[in-house]
Amino acid sequence: MSTVPIATGGVQAPFAPTLPTTGWPLWRRQLFAIFRMESRKSTFTPRALLLYLLAAAPIVLVGGVSLINLYRGQEISAGKLVEVFSIMFQVFYLRGVIFFGCVWVFTNLFRGEVLDQSLHYYFLSPVRRGVLVAGKYLAGLVATASLFGVGVVITFFLLHLPVGWSGTTAQLFDGPGLGHLAAYLSITLLACMGYGAVFLLFGLLFRNPIVPVAAVLLWEGINFLLPPLLKKISITHYLDSLMPVPLSGGPFAIISSPPPVWISTLGLLAMTAALLGLATLKLKRTQVSYGEE
């Protein structure tokens, strides 16, 4: 491994530590540096405001409904709360909050640099394109998965507000609540991984990703109507198979056997790796030209 000595005042320090200049140690340092910079952009800039609004929407909605039920003294059974949370998570979180949150964060990882005319700074630095893709992707993944994961936990407890603390703890530790909550958090992470890789690639492929994003939204929305072979070309198909409380697709749904948990998990991981590989190949062929935007 090649190293470069650290010099002080123009004179080489005889026992100064050396920094790696090639190989995995260098890539790791660059990856962490990119991750730190991009994490700040994804969470502490005005562009992140929409992400916080999306994460807060289900919290405000469920919190308001729970307070109304608590004020009215309306009793809700534990079984009903399980069903309600499952519907809300699949319809509101997956199809809405997580989907559009990933669209906003991951399409802007590179598109935002182009719009800000700052992408050339990365291209002028001695960093591999694969390291750049990985660093940006990890920053977006941590931002979305952590924020939406916290939102899922808060929403879960707010939904159980009418049954009180004793009812909530009974549902968590004596019922299926804790296992269900862990499953929903895992699905949130996998959803951010899958959708994040798709939309990061879209941000590199398309100048205006609105049309392809709308196509993905439509495809995911009609997944229950598709034949079994086409269902497999969908993130929703694999996420739905991981649901602790699956929902019925309705009378028009085409029934198909859900894949086992391990196949769904490995399938999403393999798809994510393939999409990131394509994004890296695309970035290697990308030339900065702000005048065309």
Does 5 have pLDDT greater than 60?
no
pLDDT at 289: 64
Task: Using DSSP bridges, classify how beta strands 18-20 and 3-5 pair: parallel, antiparallel or unpaired.
Answer: antiparallel
Calculate what percentage of the chain has a pLDDT beyond 90: 29
- Asked if 181 contacts 255 with a C-beta cutoff of 8 angstroms, the reply is no
Taking the C-alpha atoms of residue 283 and residue 130, their distance in angstroms, rounded to an integer, is: 8
Give Rg (Cα) of the chain.
23
- Chain-wide mean pLDDT for the chain? 81
| Weakest mean pLDDT among 106-110, 171-175, 191-195 | 171-175
pLDDT band at 136 (very low <50, low <70, confident <90, very high): very high
Structure token digits, residue 98: 């997580």
Exposure of 57 by Cβ count < 10 A (0-12 exposed, 13-18 middle, 19+ buried)? Answer: middle
The pair of three-digit structure tokens given for residue 9, joined into one six-digit string: 């005042």
Residue 14 pLDDT greater than 80, yes or no? no
Least trusted range by pLDDT, from 20-24, 168-172, 193-197, 240-244:
20-24
Q: Give the 3-state secondary structure of residue 273.
A: helix
For residue range 202-226, list pLDDT tens digits in order.
Answer: 998 888 889 999 999 998 888 777 7
Residue 11 confidence class, pLDDT cut points 50, 70, 90: very low
Range of weakest confidence among 30-44, 143-157, 269-283: 30-44
Return the pLDDT at 16: 39
Q: Which pLDDT does position 172 carry in this prediction?
A: 75
Provide the pLDDT confidence category of residue 145 given band limits of 50, 70 and 90.
very high
**b/e for 87-100, b at 16 or more Cβ within 10 A?**
ebbbebbbeebbbb
- For residue 259, the SS3 value is coil
**Residue 8 scores a pLDDT above 50:** no
185 vs 84, which has greater pLDDT? 185
- Residue 159 half-sphere exposure toward CB, CA atoms < 13 A: 24
Which residues have C-beta within 8 Å of that of residue 77, sequence separation ≥ 6?
none
Chain segment 87-98, per-residue pLDDT in tens: 889 888 888 899
Instruction: Provide φ and ψ at 18, rounded to 5°.
Output: -110, 150
pTM of the predicted model as reported, rounded to 2 decimal places: 0.84
What is d(CA 46, CA 41) in angstroms, rounded to the nearest whole number?
9
Give the pLDDT band (50/70/90) at residue 123.
confident
